[in-house]
């Protein structure tokens, strides 16, 4: 039974975060190339939540081309050249037929769609055609993301019909969450829990509870991941989100500030903006 109390040891969390940042091993994500600090020799990608196992140098030895392509994709994303980055995913998938790449590409479509939306100016005078173009592109990208997620989900279902593995079950659950199919995601978590891996099951429960707005339970799962053994830096992100949702803004702000320093990714920036907005009202 999960405890629903929200006793947050903020100082303890910050200590572990700083320890992970300074002394932790950095693991690379095989589908998005993000490097995430961890203390446990395993972890979850801070960008796409894929399970991580390898360091960059080990992957360079075993698959240099993959590392180079993922680096190139990230350089394209940084330059807001989403079209080129998406095209590179097409090439990667064509070469390897790795289903998880479809999931990573879907997330990139969502990001590109948000980028197109951000280019719409409602006060634009005389440039409404350009707004319509960005709106149309944004919609197209969201449809493409849904198609990719459905395709990947279908492929994982097929694969699970042949053999049950925890990574495939977890990936299917991630996809079901992105598609907001919470009933299916919950069933996947039940099946995942039978695999006997407490770490990945607890992580899956955390993101499920957070997605359905049960922040007391997402916090309890997150708290269990902010420990040196079985650590995930994303636990700090979800704990911060839960604290913010419970209006504990001072604690949330302290955590997000350190998290932002350790991980320079957009999730933290968005969370900080939300906290500052809530503080101002
Ligand atoms: Zn990733």
> If 0-12 CB within 10 Å is exposed, 13-18 middle and 19+ buried, where does residue 56 land?
middle
Per-residue pLDDT, 2: 47
CA 129 to centroid of ligand 1, rounded, Å: 36
Counting the structural domains of the chain, the total is 1
Looking up residue 64, the CATH number of its domain turns out to be 1.25.40
The per-residue pLDDT for range 172-194, each reduced to its tens digit, is 999 999 999 999 999 999 999 99
Domain, as residue range, for 154: 10-280
Per-residue pLDDT, 201: 98
Task: Please list the residues that pair with 38 across neighbouring strands.
Answer: 25
CA 99 to centroid of ligand 1, rounded, Å: 14
- Has residue 2 been placed in a domain? no
Q: Answer whether 143's CB lies under 8 Å from 165's CB.
A: no
Mean pLDDT, 10 residues at a time, the chain of 281 residues: 68 94 93 92 93 94 96 96 98 97 97 93 73 94 98 98 97 97 98 96 98 96 94 95 94 92 72 83 74
- Has residue 258 been placed in a domain? yes
pTM above 0.95, yes or no: no
CA distance 5 to 65: 47
CA 48 to centroid of ligand 1, rounded, Å: 4
At 201, give phi and psi (nearest 5°).
-65, -45
| Residue of 56, 157, 156, 161 lying closest to 100 (CA atoms) | 156
Q: How many Cβ atoms are within 10 Å of 79's Cβ, its own excluded?
A: 10
- Has residue 3 been placed in a domain? no
The per-residue pLDDT for range 54-107, each reduced to its tens digit, is 999 999 999 999 999 999 999 999 999 999 999 999 999 999 999 999 999 999
Tokens of residue 110, six digits: 């969502």
CA 107 to centroid of ligand 1, rounded, Å: 10
- Has residue 114 been placed in a domain? yes
- Has residue 233 been placed in a domain? yes
Per-residue pLDDT, 226: 96
* Residue ranges in the chain assigned as alpha helix (H): 10-23, 56-62, 64-78, 82-96, 99-118, 128-162, 166-178, 182-193, 198-211, 215-225, 233-245, 249-262, 266-280
- Has residue 156 been placed in a domain? yes
CA 70 to centroid of ligand 1, rounded, Å: 10
Per-residue pLDDT, 3: 46
> If 0-12 CB within 10 Å is exposed, 13-18 middle and 19+ buried, where does residue 275 land?
buried
Question: Distance from first CA to last CA of the chain, Å, rounded?
Answer: 36
Per-residue pLDDT, 130: 85
Per-residue pLDDT, 1: 43
CA 52 to centroid of ligand 1, rounded, Å: 8
- Has residue 73 been placed in a domain? yes
Per-residue pLDDT, 191: 97
Mark residue 126 as left, alpha or beta (left: phi above 0; alpha: psi -120 to 50; beta: remaining): left
CA 45 to centroid of ligand 1, rounded, Å: 5
CA 132 to centroid of ligand 1, rounded, Å: 32
- Has residue 65 been placed in a domain? yes
CA 100 to centroid of ligand 1, rounded, Å: 10
CA distance 131 to 133: 5
């Amino acid at each position: 039974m999960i405890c629903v109390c929200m006793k947050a040891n903020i100082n303890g969390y910050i200590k572990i975060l700083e320890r992970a940042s300074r002394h932790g091993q950095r693991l690379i994500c095989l589908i998005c190339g993000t490097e995430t600090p961890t203390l446990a020799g395993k972890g979850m990608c801070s960008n796409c939540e894929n399970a991580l196992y390898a360091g960059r140098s080990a992957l360079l030895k075993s698959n240099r081309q993959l590392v180079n392509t993922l680096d190139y994709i990230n350089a394209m994303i940084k330059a807001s050249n989403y079209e080129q980055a998406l095209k590179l995913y097409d090439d990667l998938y064509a070469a390897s037929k790795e289903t998880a790449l479809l999931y990573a590409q879907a997330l990139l479509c969502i990001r590109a769609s948000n980028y197109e939306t951000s280019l719409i100016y409602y006060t634009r005078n005389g440039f409404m055609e350009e707004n319509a173009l960005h709106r149309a592109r944004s919609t197209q990208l969201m449809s493409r993301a849904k198609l990719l997620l459905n395709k990947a989900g279908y492929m994982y279902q097929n694969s699970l019909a042949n053999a049950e593995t925890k990574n495939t079950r977890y990936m299917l659950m991630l996809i079901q969450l992105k598609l907001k199919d919470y009933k299916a995601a919950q069933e996947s978590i039940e099946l995942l829990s039978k695999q006997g891996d407490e770490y990945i099951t607890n992580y899956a429960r955390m993101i499920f509870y957070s997605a359905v707005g049960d922040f007391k339970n997402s916090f309890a799962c997150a708290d269990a991941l902010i420990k040196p053994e079985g650590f995930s830096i994303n636990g700090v992100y979800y704990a911060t989100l839960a604290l913010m949702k419970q209006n504990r803004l001072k604690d949330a702000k302290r955590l997000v500030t350190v998290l932002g320093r350790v991980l320079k990714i957009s999730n933290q920036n968005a969370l900080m903006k939300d906290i500052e907005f809530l503080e101002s009202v």
